[in-house]
Chains A and B, each alone.
Chain A
Amino acid sequence: MADAVQKPGNAAPAKKAATGAFTPAGVSPNRRSRHKYTVRLWAVRHSRFFEWFYHRFAQVFLLLHPVWKLFGYQRVERPITFVERHVKGFLFDCRMCGQCALSSTGMSCPMNCPKQLRNGPCGGVRANGNCEVEPDMPCVWVQAWKGSQNMVRGNAIMNVQKPVNQSLRETSSWLRVTAEAAAAREAAAAAGKDA
């Protein structure tokens, strides 16, 4: 495998092979460019800030609930998804699974794991903390554990996450969370009125 001719590519297999690291035969299932790890790792290092920011951001979105309702959630979906994809894509290499778990994974997007694990690291993590499948990528879950240690609600990493609902891919999780929070608030208000 290592002595086979390596073509240059996004994942730079030739460079990887030169270091003596295990290189999968052919190209790994998910190609990605290396420079992106920088921003992703920076976001994890500043997970405390992002946690605070996200909390505020969710509040603002919830305040805007009447606006979304006025235009209709269906109609604002497309522009919001566009913004969300690009903002989160830049910061976290977001994969638009549509059910964001960043707040319980230390601001390290679990969908970047080649196995798309949402509940913790697999047993194949290398001794240097890199991925089994992509030897030059730091394991998403090693990063998640580090990130969660900085966060106030880092304990959320202990919650068992439900399997991904594939039908929600490419939809805005910001809007979904806001709609759910608004519905919960209204239900609570209605319950309060009854009592």
Chain B
Amino acid sequence: MAHIDENPLGAHLPLDPLPGHSSLGRLERVLRRGEFAVTTELNPPDSANPEDVYERAAIFDGWVDGINAVDASGANCHMSSVGICALLTRMGYAPIMQIACRDKNRIAIQGDVLGGAAMGVCNIMCLTGDGVQAGDQPGAKPVFDLDCMSLLETVRIMRDNGKFLSGRKLTTPPKVFLGAAINPFAPPYDFRPFRLAKKIEAGAQFVQSQYCFDVPMFREYMKKVRDLGLHEKCYILVGVGPMASAKTAKWIRSNVPGIHIPDAVIKRLEGAEDQKKEGKQLCIDIINEVKEIEGVSGIHVMAYRQEEYVAEIVHDSGVLKGRRPWTREPNPVDQMVAERIEAARSGQEQDQQQMAEKAASQPH
């Protein structure tokens, strides 16, 4: 039987647009169907080798609905998110293209949105980005021309009104599912739910949260979110991930801004014989707790340098309930590329005279 997110006429054909859907991607389909979604993050390589990206993506095959292509997270230099998305869409993965406002101004960002959508990116995640001081090149100039909110609004205007921020028209608007980030674990705590409301107003359709280690705190946040009715307007994916050891957890707590790790978590890790295994178990326990919270639509597994455990964590927590996320998403231009390659292979001779005539009579 054909997979539910597959064109019934053939797996190589792009998906049909569904009513009420803003993208052609499968992440939106999964979420709108009410299924529990799983997304993860690809560790961007420090190399110019496409194999590195394919290798790192292959371990998620059949376990996740979307792969975040991070945009220099932590202000550390890596392969760009646009580059990773180009490679991933070529191989039929469903990337979530992150755009951080730290490195690009509004001109570059709007261009990247169009370029990404043209390559077949269906999900765009709008972030402010960490400050440059956090990364390996603190001497860089922080741009922050837009902030995450105005970035969301910009992309929403491009999609829904078919216009640039300047008002200039687009001939084909980018069909994308818009995401944003939330961090319920940083002050001002009472403002955080309202900030989510603002993001939804600006255009966010799904949000991924920062690492959740403090479930009671998250429960409190979700209660306020439900009181505002926000969980019905937006899909909330909770960020989870395994900690390699108590030492790593301590280091992250004091050095990475915005990650809140309670003492109890560190104590539990310290007390364990095999800290790595305990970290994984802790992650599964947290998933099992948060998935029961009303308004949670999925999880976002961030297993930095432990990507091989993502499949295991997803499997052991049982959040997919036997569902197997489809591994390949056809790219609208696949067929055209195949035809081109075929034509090149068949070695048709090019008649220069004929080509010149054609170019002269039909410039477009």
Q: Which residues of A contact B (CB under 8 A)?
A: 22, 24-26, 28-29, 114-127, 129, 132-133, 139, 141-142, 145-146, 157-158, 160-164, 166
A121 and B186: CB pair below 8 A?
A: yes
Let me know if B133 and A25 touch, CB within 8 A.
Answer: yes
List residues of chain A with CB within 8 A of the CB of B182.
123
Contact check: which of B145, B148, B165, B191 meets A145 at CB < 8 Å? B191
A120 CB contacts on chain B under 8 angstroms: 149, 191, 195, 198
Cross-chain contact A24 with B133 (CB below 8 angstroms)? yes
Indicate the member of B102, B132, B188 with the most A CB atoms within 10 Å.
B188
B131 touches A124 (CB 8 A): yes
| Bound-state Cα–Cα, A137 to B207, Å | 29
| Shortest CB distance A132–B (Å) | 4
* From B131, B154, B198, contact of A114 by CB (8 A): B131
Q: Which residues of A contact B134 (CB under 8 A)?
A: 24, 132
When the two chains form their complex, are residues B187 and A125 in contact, meaning their CB atoms are under 8 A apart? yes
Assess whether A119 is in contact with B131, with CB atoms less than 8 Å apart.
no
Q: Assess the A24–B138 pair: CB atoms within 8 A.
A: yes
Given contacts A124-B258, A133-B133, A142-B188, contact A116 B198 (CB under 8 A): no
Chain B residues within 8 Å of A127, by CB: 186-187, 260
Contact in complex: B133, A29 (CB < 8 Å): yes
Cβ-closest 5 pairs across A and B: A123-B183, A24-B133, A119-B149, A124-B257, A132-B257
Q: How far is the CA of A12 from the CA of B147 in the complex (A)?
A: 28
- B interface residues, Cβ below 8 angstroms from A: 101-102, 106, 128-134, 138-139, 141-142, 144-150, 153-154, 165, 181-183, 186-188, 190-191, 194-195, 197-198, 201-202, 210, 254-255, 257-258, 260
A81 to B142, CA, bound (A): 27
Report whether over half of chain A's contact residues are helix, strand or loop; otherwise say mixed. loop
Q: What residues of A have a CB within 8 angstroms of the CB of B181 in the complex?
A: 123
Residue from A28, A115, A132, A158 in contact with B147 in the complex, judged by beta carbons closer than 8 Å: A115
A129 CA / B186 CA spacing, docked (Å): 8
CB distance from B265 to the nearest CB of A (A): 15
Quick one: which of A22, A26, A132, A160 contacts B139, CB cutoff 8 A? Answer: A26
A130 and chain B: residue at smallest CB distance: B187
Name the residue on B nearest A118 (C-beta): B147
Instruction: Return the chain A residue nearest B196 by Cβ.
Output: A120
Closest to B209 in A: A123
Bound-complex Cα distance A26 to B140 (A): 12
A115 touches B149 (CB 8 A): no
A163 near B188 (CB under 8 angstroms)?
no
Residues in B with CB closer than 8 Å to A119 are 147-150, 198, 202
Q: Are A123 and B186 in contact (CB under 8 A)?
A: yes
Asked if B191 and A162 make an inter-chain contact with CB atoms under 8 angstroms apart, the answer reads no
Q: How far is the CB of A137 from chain B (nearest CB, A)?
A: 12
Q: Give min CB distance, A97 to chain B, whole Å.
A: 12
* B236 to A: closest C-beta gap in Å: 15
Contact A121-B195, Cβ < 8 Å, known A114-B142, A115-B131, A163-B150 = yes
Give the CA-CA distance A141 to B142 in the complex, in Å: 19
Asked whether, in the complex, the Cβ of A117 is within 8 Å of the Cβ of B131, the reply is no
The answer to whether B198 touches A158 (Cβ under 8 A) is yes
Known contacts A123-B181, A158-B198: does B147 contact A117 (CB below 8 Å)?
Answer: yes
If A24-B133, A133-B131, A145-B188 touch, whether A163 touches B145 (CB-CB below 8 Å) is yes
Interface centre among B129, B131, B139, B195 (most CB of A within 10 A): B131
CB–CB B188/A129 < 8 A: yes
* Alpha-carbon gap, A39 to B148, bound state (A): 29
Given contacts A115-B131, A124-B258, A163-B165, contact A25 B191 (CB under 8 A): no
A126 touches B257 (CB 8 A): yes
Please tell me if the beta carbons of B147 and A116 are within 8 angstroms of each other in the complex: yes
Residues of A within 8 A of B210 (CB): 123
